[in-house]
Amino acid sequence: MKQVLLMIAALEIALAPAASASASERFEVKGSDGIVISKPGSYTLRRNLTARSGLPLITIAADNVSVDLNGFALRGLGDKQGDGIAINGRSNVRVFNGSLRSFGTAVRVEGSNNVELTGLQISGDDIPGGPPETGILVLNSRAVHIAGNVISRTFLGLFVRGGASGGNTIKGNTITGGENGQLGVCYNPAPGASAATDGPAGDLVAENHISRFRTAIQLSEASQSNVFVRNYLNFFELGFDERTPGSNSIVNNVEIELP
**193-209 pLDDT per residue, tens:** 999 999 999 999 999 99
Question: If residue 92 lies in a helix (H) or strand (E), which one and from where to where?
Answer: strand 91-101
**What's the CATH code of the domain at 151?**
2.160.20.10
pLDDT band at 86 (very low <50, low <70, confident <90, very high): very high
- Number of folded domains that form the chain: 1
pLDDT band at 236 (very low <50, low <70, confident <90, very high): very high
pLDDT reported for residue 31: 45
Q: Are 40 and 65 in contact (CB under 8 A)?
A: yes
Q: Are 29 and 59 in contact (CB under 8 A)?
A: no
Q: Which residues pair with 87 in a beta bridge?
A: 60, 109
Q: CA 123, CA 213: separation in Å to the nearest integer?
A: 15
List, in order, residues 6 or more apart from 242 with CB less than 8 Å away.
219, 248, 250
The reported pTM is 0.90
Q: Which residues pair with 228 in a beta bridge?
A: 205, 250
Residue 254 phi, psi (nearest 5): -110, 125
Q: Are 67 and 94 in contact (CB under 8 A)?
A: yes
pLDDT reported for residue 32: 53
Sign of CA dihedral 196, 198, 199, 201: positive
The boundaries of the domain holding residue 10 are 3-257
Q: How many CB atoms lie within 10 A of CB 221?
A: 17
